[in-house]
Amino acid sequence: MSCVTPATIEVTPATLRGQLARWPTGVAIITANGLSRPLGKTVNSFHSASLEPAMVGWCIDKKSSRFDEWVAVTGYVVHVMASHQAELVSRFAASRSDRFDGVETTPGLDGIPMLTGEVPLRLECRVAGTFDVGDHVYLIGQVVTMAATAHVPMTLQR
């Protein structure tokens, strides 16, 4: 059996991003209450953190145009997205101020707008802590409610 030694790669933001994109992740849209209008964003940093107590987390890029509002939220709703929901995933990643225009929502925890589409998994969370991690801030959430459908979550992998 042949043995391939992994090639050493210089660690730069670009090489790290490229290599970590090979790690499969799901895709979620996170919503929250902003100062004057709702916040919504596509993320793939969402992950499970603890089962007991039930905690999840995700990271917000400090370059986000509404970063100050995101790090001030006291709760957020995670919508794990399915493959047939690519249009919503793109919409909530695009640089536009009207991400919610024409998107049906219903008020959830503390009035946070929840997407009414049939997502595989929806978690309403209270922010339990925030941590500075380099060019991102980590938002830990305590899961308050959970709702699910049988839809298969979308997967990203390069």
Ligand X SMILES: Cc1cc2nc3c(=O)[nH]c(=O)nc-3n(C[C@H](O)[C@H](O)[C@H](O)COP(=O)(O)O)c2cc1C
Tell me whether residue 56 or residue 60 sits nearer to ligand X (CB atom).
60
Give the binding range for ligand X (CB under 6 A) out of 3-11, 54-62, 103-111, 142-150.
54-62
> Tokens 């790290």 — which residue?
16
Does 42 participate in binding ligand X (rule CB under 6 A)?
Answer: yes
Does 119 participate in binding ligand X (rule CB under 6 A)?
Answer: no
Tell me whether residue 21 or residue 148 sits nearer to ligand X (CB atom).
21
Q: Binder to ligand X among 37, 45, 110, 153 (CB under 6 A)?
A: 45
Give the binding range for ligand X (CB under 6 A) out of 3-11, 55-63, 101-109, 125-133.
55-63
What string of DSSP letters covers the chain?
---PPPPP----HHHHHHHHTTS-EE-EEEEE--SSS-EEEEES--EEEETTTTEEEEEEETT-TTHHHHTT-SEEEEEEPBGGGHHHHHHTTSS-S-TTTT--EEE-GGG-EEE-S--SEEEEEEEEEEEEETTEEEEEEEEEEEEE-SPPBPEE--
Give CA–CA dist 26/43, Å, rounded.
9
Instruction: Give the side-chain half-sphere CA count within 13 A for 105.
Output: 23
Q: Binder to ligand X among 65, 116, 145, 155 (CB under 6 A)?
A: 65
Does 27 participate in binding ligand X (rule CB under 6 A)?
Answer: yes
Least CB distance to ligand X at residue 16 (A): 14
Instruction: Tell me how far apart the terminal alpha carbons of the chain are, to the nearest angstrom.
Output: 27
Does 66 participate in binding ligand X (rule CB under 6 A)?
Answer: yes
Q: Binder to ligand X among 56, 59, 73, 112 (CB under 6 A)?
A: 59
Give the binding range for ligand X (CB under 6 A) out of 5-13, 52-60, 72-80, 122-130.
52-60
User: Where along the sequence are the contacts to ligand X (CB under 6 A)?
Assistant: 27, 41-45, 58-61, 64-66, 93, 95, 156
